[in-house]
Amino acid sequence: MENIMTNENKMSRRRALSGLGVAMATVAAAPVLAGAALPEQTGFAPVDLQDPTTKYPKPPFTHQNQPWPALASKMVPRPDHGEETYKGSGRLAGRKALITGGDSGMGRAAAIAYAREGADVAINYLPQEEPDAREVVALIKKAGQKAVAIPGDLREESFCKKLVDEAAKQLGGLDIVVSNAARQQSHPSILDISSDQFDWTIKTNIYAPFWIIKAALPYLKPGSSIIGTTSVQATDPSPDLYDYAQTKAATTNFLKSLAKQLGPKGIRVNGVAPGPIWTPLQMGGGSTPEKLREFGKDTPLGRPGQPAELASIYVQLAANDASYSTGQIYGAAGGSGQP
């Protein structure tokens, strides 16, 4: 009798374990089955792979230096800022951004992307860059967002404060500040740089962000973002960009320092470090005709980058899901440069 009961207990235990195993297998399979059904649920169409080496024009380019400051609208080929390609998904809905140098280059790419992600955008630029700025304003409005254009020279502290206050007033607040405007001029020797020219570069690239960020801080709440445009020149300087390169090294360091200072306040500070990017900065004296012809050829991808290829980085650094990224420098240099 005892043996019969023992056998029955063993049989019951086997059945229980067998049933538990089936249940666990069903639970384990559920995520797999759900994952398999995901494309059908989201309705996403397949996206073709794109070869980054042939995606955009490669050198040689034709000589096309323009009077300073150069215009993107007069470049051949025209840069891609994402006008026809960037598609948003509401990642910055309700946000309010100020972008310096927003008429062209990375500033323009960020402005277009921010608007298509649902943000209202104020851009700053020089009065001479009005033709490019008008195009950006039209694109922001076409995305259904508010566009504010505030031209002016960032070398004046009073204007920098006015710029921030006016942007916050017209946008109804401020929670993204992109310090992107910069001056770059090529000089073969330090002897070719006058004190006035050196001062111009330092004022534009170092003083202006200092004044703008100071003026913006009272408006920025926890969750806000400050994003600076630095460069591979900060860590791998060219011999003909003596003054520009040192300002970008300073930019990298002030971003990292400020991130530590503002971290406890919930304000994130990050930077973007481009390599050779096809922008008016190169056309208005930032590069020599010889360098322009082969611009970007020495990168592993064999071409310069386009502003549109950096737009998603500026979006990511401003978005809530990048909440643990602060004091970081994000590189985009076609395989060369640091970081």
Q: Summarize pLDDT for 252-296 with one digit per residue, the tens.
A: 999 999 999 999 999 999 999 999 999 998 888 888 888 899 999
Chain centroid offset of residue 228 CA: 9
- With respect to residue 189, please indicate whether it lies within any of the assigned structural domains: yes
Q: Where residue 67 falls among pLDDT bands split at 50, 70, 90? A: confident
The average pLDDT across 291-320 equals 96
Pair of tokens at residue 120: 């209202």
Q: What is the pLDDT of residue 42?
A: 61
Q: What is the pLDDT of residue 65?
A: 79
Please indicate, yes or no, if residue 262 is contained in any of the structural domains: yes
pLDDT of residue 60: 95
Question: What is the C-alpha separation between 136 and 81, in angstroms, rounded?
Answer: 10
Q: Which residues pair with 228 in a beta bridge?
A: 179, 271
Q: Which domain holds residue 217?
A: 94-332
Judge if the upstream peptide bond of residue 60 is cis by omega within 30 degrees of 0.
yes
Is 23 inside a domain boundary?
Answer: no
Distance CA 80, CA 15 (A): 66
User: What mean pLDDT is reported for the chain?
Assistant: 89
Residue 318 has pLDDT above 90, yes or no: yes
How does pLDDT run across 124-150, given as a tens digit for each residue?
A: 999 999 999 999 999 999 999 999 999
CATH number, domain containing residue 253: 3.40.50.720
Q: How far apart are the C-alpha atoms of 48 and 280, rounded to whole Å?
A: 31
What length is written for the chain? 339
Q: Is the pLDDT of residue 151 over 90?
A: yes
Q: Is the pLDDT of residue 189 over 50?
A: yes
State the pLDDT at residue 337. 78
pLDDT value at 101 more than 80: yes
Report if residue 214 sits inside a domain: yes
Residue 34 lies in a domain: no
CA trace torsion 322, 326, 327, 328 (10° rounding): -10
Residue 197, token pair as written in the block: 């020219």
State the average pLDDT over residues 144-166: 98
pLDDT at 4 over 60: no
Q: Are 279 and 106 a contacting pair, CB within 8 Å?
A: yes
Question: What pLDDT does 295 receive?
Answer: 94
Residues linked to residue 331 through DSSP beta bridges, in sequence order: 273
Overall average pLDDT of the 184-199 stretch: 97
Average pLDDT over residues 81-92: 97
pLDDT tens for 206-257 read: 999 999 999 999 999 999 999 999 999 999 999 999 999 999 999 999 999 9
Would 42 be classed as within a structural domain?
A: no
Query: What residues form DSSP beta bridges with 229?
Result: 272
- Of 28-42, 51-65, 152-166, least confident by mean pLDDT is 28-42
- The answer on pLDDT for 34 being more than 60 is no
Place of tokens 């111009």: 200
Helix or strand (DSSP H, E) at 177: strand 176-179
Within 8 A by CB and 6+ apart from 311, the residues are: 81, 82, 86, 106, 109, 110, 112, 113
The better pLDDT of the pair 195, 47 is held by 195
Catalytic residue among 244, 314, 324, 330: 244
Instruction: List strands edge to edge, sheet with 268-274.
Output: 147-151, 120-125, 96-100, 176-179, 225-229, 268-274, 329-332
Quote the pTM value.
0.86
Q: What is the predicted pLDDT for the residue at 270?
A: 98
For residue 60, the tally of other CB atoms under 10 A from its CB is 10
**Mean pLDDT of the region 90-106:** 98
Residue 193 has pLDDT above 70, yes or no: yes
pLDDT at site 49? 96
Closest residue by Cα to residue 277 from 98, 63, 57:
57
125 catalytic residue (yes or no): no
Domain contains 77: no
Establish if 183 belongs to a structural domain. yes
State the total domains in the chain: 1
Q: Which two tokens stand for residue 91?
A: 């990642």
Query: What is the pLDDT averaged over residues 154-178?
Result: 98
Q: Is the pLDDT assigned to residue 44 strictly greater than 70? A: yes
User: Coil, strand or helix: which one is 43?
Assistant: coil
